[in-house]
Structure 1
Amino acid sequence: MTSHEAPEAEMLPGLRAAVDDAKAKAAATRRRTAAQWEAAETDPVARVLVDIALAHLDRPFDYAVPTAMAETAVPGARVKVRFAGQDVDGYVVERTSHTDHTGTLQPLRRVVSPEPVLAPEVVELSETLARRYAGARSDVLRLAVPPRHAATEKVASEPAPEAPVVEAPTTWSEVAHADAYLRHLASGASPRAVWAAAPGDDWPAMVAEAVATTYAAGRGALVCVPDRRDVARVDAALADRLGEGHHVCLTADGGPAARYRDFLAVSRGARRIVVGTRSAAFAPVHDLGLVVLWDDGDDLHAEPRAPYPHTREVLLLRAEQQGTAALLGGVARTPEAEQLVATGWAHELAVPREVLRRRARVEAVPAEDRSVGTRIPRAAYDAIRRGLTTGPVLVQTPRAGYAASLACDTCRAPARCTVCTGPLVVDGPAVPPHCRWCGHVESPWACPTCGGHGLRAPVRGEARTAEELGRMFPGTTVRSSSGERVVDRVGDSADLVVATVGAEPVADDGYTAVIVLDTWLSLARDDLRAAEEALRRWLNAAALVRPGGHVVAVGDPAHPALQALVRWDPTGFARREAQERSQAHLPPAARLATVTGDLGALDDVLHLVDLPAGAEVLGPVPVDDEHRVLLRVPRSSGEALSRSLGDLQRVRSARKLDPVRIQVDPLTI
């Protein structure tokens, strides 16, 4: 043996030992891995709803549950799965012991979180909504379950304090049949009602009493309102009635961490009372006993994302599905809510007529009565003057800004931009007119029709209205509330409050008078619901008056909507609207769906869709850069229409045809 061969011979046993050790470790790793990927002994199959918005794949898929995930892959948990060659998110909706799949099941890739955030009742609700609105369940679940916040998930939810002893309701004393409704809630029954709030009603306190009655019976409650200001009012009323720590508010204002924290408190059963906006309608409240919807006519309840469900329909479906009580409240009444009463699905709660007459005096005066030299008629002027002697006065105007539109002072022709023909506006008394579209400043301006140089404002915003009222009532504080400068509350001082629609502050003891200006502008909208929406806006403002206050609406007293305001008869107006729409084959007597896309895609739709008997096809008509087809069927064929549109979506998705946007029961057409 040579000198250089000796060290190699000595090293050989050490190398062999190292190789053998590495092989042993690799074998052990393979055995552990194999053991990890072995199917669980109990319920080894997980049905997973994959987060893919493709209509033809909108169903649960079966996956094998590895032993290592047997305890964490619980129904409702978030998981990662392999789908179409990539890792995608999903929810476990069920664990079972069998599968219809004939091949080998793919295993779950991993459990993202063992937290069961998707409740079984929400799974069922998502399926029902997707079927009704011809959409995908994955889209519904994006609305129902907030994004995960890992750090928040690790913190345990504090249990709610012991439920307090609930005092007997007092704010419902003048509402007919309210005592019977509340008794049913207290007994654990599931009454359903449509409630017409009256002027001077403290509706947040009334909602809080209904919720407290349900809570005292050992059940949860869910309250949906249009916006954050309404959430804050109900939040304060519940805290006053029950104390802190019994409810949560589900809104996006607090950020993702706070929203997820409150969602988990509900999902874990630590809180059983929820107040929120439209997405709160999906909250997984334990032992749900009551769903409440306030002001269902507000367009904020219409979801702008696919599949475009309306909060009213979500809550009504939950009430049917879970056998809960329901309360639809509002100052105004929609034809849809009136239909619930007409069909016997719900009973009506309202104050008697004599109570309404005592609560407020309402009158309508024509705009042409301008005896004080402005667009404020004498009756409105006198109401403001008398009201300011004892408290604040509210003036509602439909437009924000200073001069929302301009016209020639001589011939009344609309003032248009010389660059792009857009409408001219003025933002202040010393600001030259400029174009609302392109921003071009028109100084000087000349009317192309008559050559005149003077401008007038046929439509005046709240800033111009506040300026006029400040000159009419010198020494009076005038406050504006609109746009980004919304005032939430005002005190009892004798101030003039000028507000746009939806931005009206709440007065501590109510307004002494409410003036509604430019009613013609609210009625001039080119929309099926123009009169309904106008009356809703006026009633919501008028309801802020204190008991015995005065309401003056400036407009045509002969118009049916203004007559309904003067009589304070939203129920009768909704009934007549429903009857007229029934004669015209419009909702709620009929079911509608719109299909929007390019002309080629719409041609494909009309060839592929299998419409139910009696269906009408209207259009196509141009809408912006696309075209739209309107499908109309009798209400009894509504489910068949949704089913046909769902089948259409699945066929188009499978064939990878150009996309179209389908909206079932759109709010506007």
Structure 2
Amino acid sequence: MSSENERQGGGPEGGAPEQLALIRETVRKAKVPKAKPRTWRGAALAKELPVARVVVNKGVLHLDQFFDYAVPEELDADAQPGVRVRVRFGAGARHVRDGRREGGGLIDGFLVERRAESDYSGPLAALAGVVSPERVLSAEMLSLARAVADRYAGSLADVLQLAVPPRNARAEAKPSPEPPPRPAPPEPGTWARYPQGPAFLQALGTGGAPRAVWTALPGPHWCEEIARAVAATLASGRGALVVVPDGRSAGRVDAALTALLGEGRHALLTADSGPERRYRQWLAVRRGAVRAVVGTRAAMFAPVENLGLVVVWEDGDSSHSDDNAPFPHVREVLELRAAHDKCGFLLGSTSCTVEAAQLVESGWAAPLVADRTVVRAAAPLVRTVGDGELARDEAARAARLPSLAWQAVREGLKTGPVLVQVPRRGYAPRLACARCRAPARCGRCAGPLEAPDERELSCAWCGTPEADWHCAECGANRLRAQIVGARRTAEELGRAFPAVPVRTSGRDHVLDSVPGQPALVVCTPGAEPVAEGGYAAALLLDGWAMLSRPDIRAGEEALRRWISASSLVRGQDAGGTVVVVAEPTLRPVQALVRWDPVGHALRELAERAELNFPPVSRMAEAIGRPEAVEAFLKAAQLPPEAQVLGPVPLPVPGPGRPRRPGDPPVGEHWERALVRVPPGSGAALAAALKAAQASRLARGGGDPVRIRIDPPDIG
């Protein structure tokens, strides 16, 4: 049989085997086409790192993950980690599963990473576009957002919507200024009133990370003291973040920082700034041009470079708890930032929450308080009027103000303005039985009764007149004013002191400050204006109404409101006096008289530990229709130590009543169940609720169930 070489015309020695192998390899390579660039629908993809990992702005839990997209070559330069992008997203549009359709609509998202390969085996959809080349999301902020989402059983997309403000093109087009040089370390100033105050500032100025719970002395110096803490941090070459409950407080810290450091060294992030100016300030912080931030709740996510200090003022204020999913609290977010960034932490207030006391008791933070002699000199003299004394007082029965309060007003008006705090805004009084103090209710709808014109008794919800009312508890037929609104109180005081101007401050019109001349300033809690030189006296009316709220925090919140208002009054050495109308033997009243908010918080913490209530335990709530809540709890793989409390019906707001976030829809009856776990199981509880909610939504869900970790009001 002839060999291959012989058939090709060669003899046994027709060619060397090495040459034959080389010829065959050359022919094989010639048949293989040259490699083509990777394309998507004919368009070339990026040569390096052609896969973009994106978090889309879809807050549903079962989509709480990253999605891979191809990066077209024309977007290669702009599609960098941290930019806003547009992608196609919808049913079946996570990846393109055939080459002929995209599916889904356009949606915004953030590009978080560029990769060489995807873990998805099918074809990838391409990025639809880059909204802006501005890198608004850093790796540190992404890590913080993920930690917040996990803690509150929420989605990363929801947290990022809270953390990154909406884009403003005109603000992005303007360059940020050059960062200013480091300031000189500040003097202690009024921090010297606290034994550990100067050491705290020194630790910040030398690059340390002290953590403290600061019980501020009454008076106007707290904003200057925060400014000095920020200045000490800037002197160390690091950044600082201050979060306050409202725009008025932010304005005071803003003014203190400007006076101490000058213009251009900090950014003010509040809703009052407007979208363009606020976004421009935020960009200056993100670009590193400004390293100090003062703002309200949304500023807790401000991307401060090289963060050295986080400050939260008045952590007990309800404004610090976000009403948008996943409902994070400023205090908890700043605790996470302090732990993640290894920076200083300062929780300050003239009062003290139970959560703040727990931080000190656990050793996570140190107390920063003044000596008792300094506290007594700075605080006003507090006097009490009990309910029994109020009932026997002829002046009180005539105008709802006891004789002691009249005397305090008259004396205070000789030297300055007098503050009057009323627990309720408006005019019409709420009524109660004069004998047993049970609230007067409508016989038709159980709504509260009121007498707006002092003649006709009617229901505040349905308007039905009540001509022959009798108390359902004791049978009496006499009524008394339960809570009189701020406007009516102002009217009564105006008649009693006709020569004195009367000013009101409340939700509809909040005064920032008032002159130091004699005047009556009637306000609701939280709307107290600052008086030039401090108030000469203050009246805290209807204290029992604040203490009788059906809430575990009623005493703590009443004391916080009282101390906040009383802190605006001159010190005892300057003749400042506060009269509180409440039962003197009650614990919050005694804490106010002694000016001891820390002691009150510690006793509250001990009682909650005995009852296994938050913050000693961790708690979550599930709210929805009864059948939906029951099904959700059955499906959730709760930790073995979890305890389910309830469910119980939620109160339905009456017709015409203001609605709050989370209230049931009109005409529907919802229930709430509480789930409690011991310390150390909070993360497991959040993970279990998040997994159950994600699984439920992925199957179509049904009736909605709202999940909230650490609800502020557990009733």
Same fold (TM over 0.5): yes
Residues 482, 426 of structure 1: alpha-carbon distance in 2 compared, 3 angstrom cutoff: farther
Q: Which has more radius of gyration?
A: 2
3-state DSSP of counterpart to 2:578: strand
3-state DSSP of counterpart to 2:389: coil
Question: How do 1:589-628 and structure 2 match up within 5 A?
Answer: 589-623=616-650, 624=652, 625-628=669-672
Contact 1:405 1:423 in 2 (8 A): yes
Deviations 1:553-610 (A, max 9, x none): 1211100111111111111111111110111110011111111122332232222211
3-state DSSP of counterpart to 1:403: coil
Which of the numbers 371, 375, 382 marks the counterpart of 1:362?
Answer: 382
Question: How do 1:535-574 and structure 2 match up within 5 A?
Answer: 535-548=559-572, 549-574=576-601
| Partner Cα separation in structure 1 for residue 88 and residue 492 of structure 2 | 67
Contact 2:39 2:45 in 1 (8 A): no
- Who is 1:148 aligned against? 167
3-state DSSP of counterpart to 1:511: coil
1:541 Cα deviation after fit: 0.6
1:458 Cα deviation after fit: 2.9
Matched, 1:234 2:283: no
- Who is 2:216 aligned against? 197
| Partner Cα separation in structure 2 for residue 109 and residue 275 of structure 1 | 36
- Who is 1:382 aligned against? 407
Contact 2:457 2:467 in 1 (8 A): no
Deviations 1:246-296 (A, max 9, x none): 222212223222222222121112221111111110111111111100010
- Who is 2:427 aligned against? 402
- Who is 1:94 aligned against? 113
Question: TM-score by structure 1 length?
Answer: 0.90
| Partner Cα separation in structure 2 for residue 453 and residue 614 of structure 1 | 51
Question: How do 1:98-497 and structure 2 match up within 5 A?
Answer: 98-359=117-378, 360-370=380-390, 371=393, 373-374=395-396, 375-406=400-431, 422-426=447-451, 435-438=459-462, 440=463, 442=465, 446-449=467-470, 456-497=480-521
Contact 1:393 1:511 in 2 (8 A): yes
| Partner Cα separation in structure 2 for residue 178 and residue 660 of structure 1 | 47
- Who is 2:73 aligned against? 67
Deviations 1:535-567 (A, max 9, x none): 110110111112222222121110011111111
Percent of matched pairs sharing the same residue = 50
1:75 Cα deviation after fit: 1.1
1:164 Cα deviation after fit: 4.2
Matched, 1:503 2:548: no
Residues 599, 416 of structure 1: alpha-carbon distance in 2 compared, 3 angstrom cutoff: closer
1:35 Cα deviation after fit: 10
3-state DSSP of counterpart to 2:137: coil
Deviations 1:187-223 (A, max 9, x none): 0111110000122252111111111111122111111
Matched, 1:514 2:533: no
3-state DSSP of counterpart to 2:189: coil
**Counterpart code for 1:508:** E
| Partner Cα separation in structure 1 for residue 136 and residue 480 of structure 2 | 58
| Partner Cα separation in structure 1 for residue 445 and residue 292 of structure 2 | 53
Mind listing any 5+ residue stretches in structure 1 that lack a counterpart? 1-29
3-state DSSP of counterpart to 1:546: coil
Residues 453, 333 of structure 1: alpha-carbon distance in 2 compared, 3 angstrom cutoff: closer
Deviations 1:153-184 (A, max 9, x none): 22222335445445413021101201111100
Deviations 1:304-329 (A, max 9, x none): 11111111111110111111111000
- Who is 1:528 aligned against? 552
Deviations 1:452-486 (A, max 9, x none): 99875332122222233233334222222122121
Mind listing any 5+ residue stretches in structure 2 that lack a counterpart? 1-35, 94-102, 653-668
Residues 628, 369 of structure 1: alpha-carbon distance in 2 compared, 3 angstrom cutoff: closer
Residues 155, 506 of structure 1: alpha-carbon distance in 2 compared, 3 angstrom cutoff: same
Contact 1:403 1:457 in 2 (8 A): no
**Counterpart code for 1:554:** V
| Partner Cα separation in structure 2 for residue 306 and residue 399 of structure 1 | 29
| Partner Cα separation in structure 1 for residue 531 and residue 711 of structure 2 | 35
Q: Which moved more, 1:583-592 or 1:80-89?
A: 80-89
| Partner Cα separation in structure 1 for residue 312 and residue 406 of structure 2 | 37
- Who is 2:27 aligned against? none
Q: Alignment RMSD, CA only?
A: 2.5
Question: TM-score by structure 2 length?
Answer: 0.84
